[in-house]
Structure formats: C-alpha cells, structure tokens
A and B are shown apart, each in its own frame.
Chain A
Amino acid sequence: MQHVIDKKSLGPKVNALTQGVEACVHCGFCLPTCPTYDTLGAEIDSPRGRIFLMKEVLEGSVPMEEALDPIDNCLGCDACVTACPSGVEYDHLITAFRAKAEKERRKPLGRRILRSMILNTLPYPYKARLAFKMGKLAIPLSAILPKSLKPALGLLPRSLPAKDSIPEIYPAKGEKRGRVALLAGCVQQVLAPEINRASLEVLSANGIETFIPRDQACCGALALHTGVEKEARKTARQLIQSIPENMDALITNAAGCGSGINEYSILFAGEKEESEARTLAGKTKDISTYLNEIGLLSPPELPKPLRVVYHDACHLAHAQKERKAPRLLLNAISNLSLLEPPDWEICCGSAGIYNIEKPELAKQLGQTKAQNLLSTEPDVVALGNIGCMTQIEKHLESYESPPPVLHTVQILASAYNQDS
C-alpha cells in the first residue's frame, strides 16, 4: 500500500516499521484469524485496521495518543502473519511500533505501576518466586486492591512447586551427538521447573549434553513484546554474554522466549551488540525443532495408550512457524493418538502479559480454547509454552476432572524414563 512516511525519521527500525505497510494489499485475509476482530467485530481491531492506523501515525496524520487503544488491544499472537498471503511481517511491525509508542505515550499511574511490577518481577526467578508467594497473601486482601491488579491475582498459582536446582552441565546418555545451551526461562523456572527437568532428560536420552549457564538472564521477550525495550535489552545483553560460542544451539522450551530472541534484530537495531544478537538469534531453536532436526531416537511405548490433543502456542506456530516438529515428536510414541482441536490458529488469550492487562478479552478466548480442546476428548493437553499452560489450566479448572496440561517434552520424558 502507498504511504508518505518519512523513512529518514524512523532510525534503525525503519524496515520493521515500513515493510508491513508497504506489503499489505488490504485483502482482509487476516481478519478471520484475528482474535480481537473476532470478539470485538470492528475493523479498527483487526490487523488490517491496525496496519492502516500505524501508517497514519507514522505519517503524522493521527497523534500517537489516539491510536493507542487498538494497538494495546492486539495480543501479538501473530496469527495474522500466518494467514497473510502477501508476506506482511506484522509481528515485526507491531513490536517496533510498540517500542515507539511506549516512548511517546503518557502513562496513567495505575498502568505504570502494574507494568513495572510485572516487568521488574517476572523476568527474575527469585523475585518471581517471592512475588507469587506474596501474591497469595494478597488474594484475601483483593477486595481492597485497585481493579487493574485483580486479574493478575486470579492468575496466581494456588501452590508453587518445589524449587528444582538443576546442574550446570547435564550429560548425554549413550553416544554423544551434540552439545547445546538451555535457556532456563524466568517465570517457567518458578511455575513449572519440571519442564526444564524433562527437557534435560529428553536431550540426554537423545545423546545431547546440555549446558545451563548459571549467569544467564531473562531473554527479554516479555518486556520486548510490550514495547519496554530498555528493560528488555538489559537482561538480553546479559543472556547474550552468557552463551558460549561453541554451542550447537541455544535451546528454548518456552515459545514466547524463542520468538522474543528471534526479534533481537529489532531490539538491537542500531545498538553496538547488533551482530552478536543476530548470531545468537540464528542459533536459537525451540526444543521441538532441534530434536526433530537431529532425528529423535524412538521413544518406547507408554504404559497405556494416550489420547493427546496438541495446542499450537501462537509464539511457536505463528511466530516461529513451527507446527510440524512437536507433532512428529509426539507421533513417534507408537501408542499415542494425536488429536487436533478446532480453530487451532486462534490464540488462547495468554499472550505475554495480555491476560493481566486485558482480562475480559483474555477470559473469552481462554474459555473458547478450553472448549475446543475438550471437544476432542483428550487424556492430556500438550503444548510448548508456559504462558498458554497457565492460561489453559485456569480455564479447564471449571470442568469436572480436567485433563492435565503438559509440555511436549514432559510426555516424551515420561516415555523415555520408564526405560531406566
């Protein structure tokens, strides 16, 4: 589409900010997969509408402040990227635009407090642990808390799993086939340490030695996807430094982290670490992609047949375009039947901190997702992202004997583990 954006004024992010605008042909093919268009039913809450709006802001005909509502409504789920035949990189556009918006917006106090609480807590495991514990104390006090903080409390886990201290190096079993580094994740370490444990076990069973750098930090995805670049760069820098060059890959097991690192080229555009950041991004792989690439060693049968419905996390399926690998891995277990839910492409409503900032929409999406998953009558729900896991578990809770929600590697690990 035509525009009169002054490209020179946009700095290093110019490509991310203009590619989408230029490539969009306004065909509307992205509309049916957009969760906000589906629930709100207005063009302005669609990807096509937002692209138009961002264009106008960049051209200077609409003030940033007026554009923020629909921009904030976007979940960043990237379903529109998958749907677009014209190759519009909406994901990069919205990330770069949000960074710009965050710098320019006037911030109401409530939002500022909430954001800074989240972004100063979740990326740091020890703080997150503390916060979840304190948060629990806050639940009884919720009646007197500001309204904007309540959804955050609803999402708190009832109880925290025990801390699991993982070693710095996890050896390969049998013949060694490779050596990787693992991003341990911040929130995930606290909420579901068993995912990291399972990842290490599955990598090991496949002949991979894993290095878990002690000095690694949060990848910055949470902050990046909300536009708070400075915060994102702070921890991302530390992460880049902590990963030795001689690793075959940096493995992520939370889709949100993987997609965040993929966007380092935007986060570090024009910064001095740009090339290091790009190199690391090139090396970063979701655990399912990696296992599939090296060739999974056949896992043994499970003790009894298992019906597993696979949920496509947006940040894996749309942002990293990985739908095949997890399915191939699960299908490698001979007595596992893989089920496909209706409307796989629609977000579950988790999307980073969306479920905290836009609780109503997130709730609607969560409920629909739970229904769709249950309609396949599964024994287990499998997925590859901690955010979706919390959101889906929460919305399954209201059903009688809901199926457990597990990471793909947890199911694989349980197959391998019965051997030993």
Chain B
Amino acid sequence: MELLYALGKLYPSTRLFTRKSQLVAYESDGLTAFRAEPLAVVVPESQEEVIETVRLCYQSQTPFLARGSGTSLSGGSMPVEGGIVITLNRLNHILRMDPENRLAVVETGVVNLKVSQAAAPHGLYYAPDPSSQQICTIGGNLAFNSGGAHCLKYGMTANHVLGIKAVLADGEVVELGSESADTVGPDAAGFFCGNEGLFGVALEATLRLTPKPQRYCTVLAAYDSLEKAGHAVSVVVESGLLPGAMEIMDRLSMDAAEAAVKAGYPKDAQGLLITELEGEKEAVEEDFKQLLFLIEKTGAYETRIAKDEEERLMIWKGRKSAFSAVGQLSPDYLVQDGVVPRSRLGEALAKIKEYSKEAGIAVANVFHAGDGNLHPLIMFDGKKDGTLERAEALAGRILTMCVQMGGSITGEHGVGVEKKKYLPEMFSEIDIDCMKRVRRAIDPLEIANPGKLFPGGEAPALTTHGAHPLEKAGIISRE
C-alpha cells in the first residue's frame, strides 16, 4: 500500500502500528460493544507529523480518525475500518500558561485535569470537568463539546475555548477564534466544538481559565425516592440559586460507587442530591441557608455537609467513578445521555423506572441534574442472547421520550455511532442535509471520521429540499 509506505517514511516503527497485536488496543472506545480494526495507528510527536499524516490520507482518499484517550461513550473514537487512527497522546504539551490574561494554550493531547493542575499555582483552573477529566483529552472535549458536573454554572467546553488551531480534512491548517473573548463576527472556535471529529484534527487550543472559588460548600441531601430528588432540583433552580453543580445518584449507582471508592453516601437513600455552592465566603454562607431551607421543604430526610476538603473530594470521587463502578454490578451496560427540561426531571425519572420495569432490565441513574442531562445506565449481560438488543430497544425508548419531552438525544457524550439512528428524531431531513453540506464544505471527501453522527452508512447525503417541518407547521416563516 502506497499510504503505508509513505507513513513508514514519516514514522519510525515504534510509532507506526500495523500488526494485529498492536491494533487491538485501539479497536474500541468506552463503548466496547462496537469495534473495528484500522489499517494502521500512528503516534505523532509533533503537529507537523499530524498535518503530514492528514495530507497523506487526503491524497490517498483514506479515512482517518483523531483519537485522544478513547473514553468516548458513543463509539466516536472507534476506528474506521481500514482507516488510519491518529493518536494525540504525545501531543501533550502545555505551550503557554498566561495567568495575567487567564488563558492557557495547549496541545490537544493534553489531559483535561493537567490543565487545572498547571493553572493551580496561579489560583486558576479549567472549569469544564467531565467525570473522566483525569484521563480524557482536550481534543476529545472539543470534539464532543464535553460537559461535567460544574457546567451548570460555567457552561460546556465551547464556553471555555477561545481559539483553535486545526488541520482540516483536506490538509489545510486554520486558526479559528482568537485570544480575546469579545471578538466580532461568527464564533468560529465555537463552531468547531462538537464536530465529533468530522472536520479534521484539532492541534492546539486556547483555553479560558477561571479563578478558583474562595469557598466551596458541598451538601448531600438524601431522599426516599428518586423522583423527589429530581423535583428538588427544579425547586432549587427556580428559587434563583445558581449552585456550581447539582448531581443526582440513585441507589444502584450509589451502591456501585460505594463498592469502588467507599465514598460514604447515606445508606438507605433512594435518591441522593449532591449540591455544591461556591464563590465568595459571604455569598456562599447566605446561599447555604436558603439551600437548607429548600432541601427540607422538598422532603429530604437527611442532610450532610462535607466537613473538609478531603470529604468533599471523596464525594466527588464517588460520583465521578460511578459509570465505571457500575461494571461491578453488571458485566455490560449502555450509558445514555439524553436531556430533558429540568422542570420535567421527576416525571422523566418516573417514566424510566416504568420502562425499566416493563423491559425487565435494571437501570442505574447518575446524572447532571442541574441541566437535565440524564445518564441512565442500562445493565445487561451480553453473554445471554438477545439481551443487547433488548437493552438497545430500552435505550431507544428513553431517547425518544427525551425528545418528546422537549429535550435532546445527547447532552455531552456525542452522537457517535451509537445514537446516529436517532438523529432524525430530533432533526428534520433538511436540517441533517444542511449539516452534511457544512461538513462537505470542510471535508469534501468525507474522510474525517466517516460513519459517525449521521444516520445510515456513508451513503451520499440526502438531498431533500423544501419547507422545514416547523415552516410546514406554521411555526416559523422566511419572510
């Protein structure tokens, strides 16, 4: 193969993998039900190597995929069969730390948490905190516009990215955005966020850093039902309080987290609400009084406050380990990522319970309650025939419910391969067609991470035109 020959000239054999024994490690991401074998994996050590690799792929019309730490939960970083995987783990340098302007310029293979660690001596941190922050990369975060517990107050990745340098799928190198947050014109860096690897490879990112809050106050409220905990969230938010984070865990996910890290959660609670207030000392104290009042009003039977930083970190460690920890309860599971309006959380949780009962499949719930981002973990044993299909059917039912409630099929994990067939539930053919045209404007050969996000295979894009469904329904018009 000409491409392999050219790659062989670009990379030493220690950084170009082509043997099956070397490729297996890259066969899947966090969603192991989907796997594919790439033609080769490369481990570039410089941006130039990445750019040259993309150009070689373009010339030979070979699909490629950028890979960070492979923690995607939607099959987003599953290789493209016969394509090239460009791993970015050695592009892991923090290029500039600029505390004065509160920004950091990093290569995209840098691990999320490392940015905060490097900023810590300056009293700053990088706010988006996916539960996988100890290992997921900034590149993966950009591609999925990842969120985390504290995105309730601070927003998702796109709100913290000022600029991006990327090599697009046709080999062109572009710089999007700038170091200033107040630029005029379209938000090009924001546009790049959430592209799921379909535009090319991000090489560098300019990230906004946030001053560390003076004070944290982390409160655990135990409820005897999950729905009550869900309801409490909307009560708190409607009151005008804006906590840094509001998370909910149900009994199963608490059991899993306990088994993994002994976080010390209340033993009998059916629903646990974790609320974190943060900011100036006085403001936090004021908010805390109000929060306690509201929690009591919503029927919590026990309230606990983290007494020191160690306890606070344990609470979060348990919460952030919960996905993986569910592995202790069930050999296989699907993590869903649907969103519902916050005010309908209680209702959505009750429905999930009902569906789970009907399907005879256990579902654990642990999620970013503050922004209505559910994470039902659908447990099954793949060794038993037909269980995966039943679990997928249940997942589909939950996603459809989210859309019907006015929400979305994904809050932060991306569409990937897993949810692509549900995209039409949210978007009309015209919307999807428009997205495809944008994609082709940037990636004319459709070689960047093909087979993801859009429904179907890589069949030529649908070219349906005509009125938008909302137009047809008379809701919007073009005049």
Contacts and interface: CB of A to CB of B under 8 A. Distances in A.
Given A27-B132, A28-B70, A41-B90, A62 B21 contact: yes
Contacts of B25: 43-44, 46, 48-50, 52-53
Interface string B314-344: 0000000111111110011100000000000
B383 interface: yes
Interface in A384-406: none
B421 interface: no
Contacts of A53: 21, 24-25
A62 B20 contact: yes
A84 to B, nearest CB: 7
B24 A87 contact: no
A84 B32 contact: no
Interface residues of B, number: 45
Contact of B43 (A42, A46, A50, A66): A42
B43 A2 contact: no
A25 B22 contact: no
A1 B259 CA distance: 19
Contacts of A46: 25
Nearest to A69: B21
Contact of B69 (A2, A28, A44, A86): A28
A387 B26 CA distance: 34
Interface string A358-384: 000000000000000000000000000
Nearest to B28: A26
A32 interface: yes
A18 to B, nearest CB: 11
A29 interface: yes
Contacts of A43: 25-26, 70, 87, 89
A44 B30 CA distance: 16
A56 B324 contact: no
B32 A25 contact: yes
Nearest to A43: B25
Q: Indicate the member of B19, B22, B136, B322 with the most A CB atoms within 10 Å.
A: B22
**A50, A63, A87 interface centre (most CB from chain B within 10 Å):** A87
Nearest to A54: B24
- Interface majority SS on A: helix, strand, loop or mixed? loop
B29 A26 contact: yes
B324 A86 contact: yes
A153 interface: no
B21 A85 contact: no
A61 interface: yes
A56 B27 CA distance: 11
Nearest to A48: B25
A16 interface: no
A1 B89 CA distance: 24
Given A2-B332, A42-B87, A23 B327 contact: yes
Contacts of A2: 32-33, 332, 382-383
Nearest to A2: B382
B6 to A, nearest CB: 21
A162 to B, nearest CB: 46
A52 B30 CA distance: 12
Interface centre among B32, B257, B326, B383 (most CB of A within 10 A): B32
A87 B383 contact: no
A1 B324 contact: no
A183 interface: no
Contacts of A23: 327-328, 331
Interface string A48-78: 1110110010000111001100000000000
A26 B331 contact: no
Interface string B250-287: 00000001011100000000000000000000000000
A31 interface: yes
B135 A86 contact: no
A387 B27 CA distance: 37
A31 to B, nearest CB: 5
A319 interface: no
B17 interface: yes
B365 interface: no
A162 B129 CA distance: 56
Q: Quick one: which of B17, B25, B331 has the most chain A CB within 10 A?
A: B25
A22 interface: yes
Contacts of A24: 327
A84 B323 CA distance: 11
Nearest to B27: A52
B404 interface: no
B442 to A, nearest CB: 28
B331 to A, nearest CB: 6
Most chain A CB atoms below 10 A, which of B27, B324, B382: B324
Contacts of B29: 26
B20 A66 contact: yes
Contacts of B111: 32
B449 interface: no
A88 B382 CA distance: 18
Contacts of B322: 85
A62 B27 CA distance: 14
B357 to A, nearest CB: 25
B20 A28 contact: no
A352 to B, nearest CB: 24
B382 A25 contact: no
Contacts of A67: 21
Contacts of A48: 25
Nearest to B70: A28
A74 B26 CA distance: 18
B60 interface: no
Nearest to B92: A41
Nearest to A86: B327
Contacts of B87: 42-43
A399 B71 CA distance: 40
Contacts of B21: 53, 56, 62-63, 66-67
B22 A44 contact: yes
Interface string A67-105: 100000000000000001111100000000000000000
B280 to A, nearest CB: 30
B134 interface: yes
A83 to B, nearest CB: 9
A48 B89 CA distance: 15
A322 to B, nearest CB: 15
Contacts of A85: 257, 260-261, 321-325, 327-328
Contacts of A62: 20-21, 24
Contact of A26 (B30, B92, B260, B383): B30
A50 to B, nearest CB: 8
A62 B19 CA distance: 10
A26 B32 contact: yes
A85 B256 CA distance: 9
Interface string A204-245: 000000000000000000000000000000000000000000
Contacts of A66: 19-21
B324 to A, nearest CB: 4
A328 to B, nearest CB: 16
Nearest to A31: B135
Nearest to B327: A86
Contacts of B27: 52
Interface in B19-60: 19-22, 24-33, 43
Specify which of A24, A29, A32, A66 lies most central, judged by the most chain B CB atoms within 10 Å of its CB: A29
Contact of B260 (A42, A50, A61, A87): A87
State the 6 A-B residue pairs at the shortest beta-carbon distance, nearest first.
A86-B327, A49-B25, A85-B321, A85-B324, A66-B21, A85-B260
Given A23-B331, A63-B21, A84-B324, 13 more contacts: A2-B33, A25-B327, A26-B29, A27-B30, A27-B71, A28-B135, A29-B134, A29-B324, A43-B70, A44-B17, A85-B260, A85-B323, A85-B328
Interface of A: 1-2, 22-29, 31-32, 41-44, 46, 48-50, 52-53, 56, 61-63, 66-67, 84-88
12 contacts: A1-B332, A2-B332, A23-B327, A29-B134, A29-B135, A43-B26, A43-B87, A44-B17, A49-B24, A62-B21, A87-B259, A87-B328
